[in-house]
Amino acid sequence: MPELPEVEVVRRGLASWVRGRTITGVEILDPRSVRRHAAGPEDLRGNLEGAVVTDVARRGKFLWMPLVEAAAASHGSAPASAASPSRVDDDGVPRLALMAHLGMSGQLLMEDPHLPDEKHLKVRLTLSPAVSGDGTPMPAELRFVDQRIFGGVFLTDLQPTPDGAPGGLSETGLPLIPEEAAHIARDPLDPAFSFDDFYARLRKRKTGIKRALLDQGLISGVGNIYADEALWAAKLHFARPTDTMRRADALRLVESARDVMTRALAAGGTSFDSLYVNVNGASGYFSRSLNAYGREGEPCPRCAALGLSTLIRRDSFMNRSSYSCPVCQPRPRNGRW
DNA sequence: CTACTATCCTGGAAGC
DNA sequence: TGCTTCCAGGATAGTA
């Protein structure tokens, strides 16, 4: 399932394929994948056709593509008709974006039109012709495929960020963000991420550290897999209380999360090169590198290196599974550490 | 306000 | 074999 590294791989791949191209066709094959677009599928289709994608940005696991009208993009000025005055501001900066969230099983694929539809193809965007650096034609279709329909796409307005910093990671770094992503915290790979801010907010929470790690409003990009991996690397139990957490422990945890996600990002980037066509968070291209997640009953690698034969255990937590080493990550007692 | 739970979905695996 | 139940989990609406 896509977490931050997978979404970032998709973002980078998408940016190289779609920037500057016009959306010439929109086909919505399953309205459930656009249910977050309140105005309905026809409104979505009507607004997308003729729009030019200017960038691909990411905040946490949310992706968005700022859009301008084809006329504005080619002439560098607002359209005289003003049919959609909210699309760009006075400086021609896009104020409309196509939002996408991959959810559990979503994929964004660039493909040639002659390829057969995927079983769970939900939305098909046809893009204007373009060629890559070596002169070969780029694929004409951007497909949204999603088996479990937790993800989706919809249109959203872009608003200025409170601090004037880039709203998300992207090629152009516009200081804009969709309202639906404004509450999402920076992720550990974002240059604007502040550990001091994270730690101050963490200490005010009265909950367990894993629940806090999974709270995208506190720190984003961390899902169940990388939460377990970061906790294992930092030797912390998932239930450790946040309000008494030491700074050094929190710092070690964040650096562990950053480290594991950086390595996953590198693996995703090298395994599939720029052909993110094959990006599939569930394919497990990084799974061989996992130390705790999904390894119930297998030896803890760290204990094994010390000659111990501790086995990874699985606990039910938050309606999902938590994997940990009972020796490296002892359960908190009486909330005292 | 904060903390936490239920819910949305599909299909593969496990259980009987 | 064939049916039923369970399980995976990101984000959010709703509840306490």
A2 catalytic? Reply is yes
CA A35 to C1' C12 (Å) is 14
A61 catalytic? Reply is yes
C-alpha to C-alpha distance for A308 and A14, rounded to whole angstroms? 45
* The predicted structure's pLDDT at residue A220: 94
Residue A128: how many CA atoms within 13 Å on its side-chain side?
12
* Strand B atom within 7 Å of A119 CB: yes
* The predicted structure's pLDDT at residue A305: 96
Nucleotide nearest to A212 (CA to C1'): B3
Q: What angle do CA A317, A321, A325 make, to 5 degrees?
A: 95
* The predicted structure's pLDDT at residue A278: 41
pLDDT band at A288 (very low <50, low <70, confident <90, very high): low
> What b-and-e string marks burial along A63-72, b requiring 16 or more CB atoms within 10 Å of the CB?
bbbbbbbbeb
C-alpha to C-alpha distance for A112 and A161, rounded to whole angstroms? 37
Give backbone dihedrals phi and psi of A209, rounded to 5 degrees, phi first: -65, -35
pLDDT band at A269 (very low <50, low <70, confident <90, very high): low
Nucleotide nearest to A214 (CA to C1'): C10
pLDDT band at A46 (very low <50, low <70, confident <90, very high): very high
C-alpha to C-alpha distance for A188 and A255, rounded to whole angstroms? 8
Count CB atoms within 10 A of the CB of residue A3: 23
Mean residue pLDDT across chain A: 86
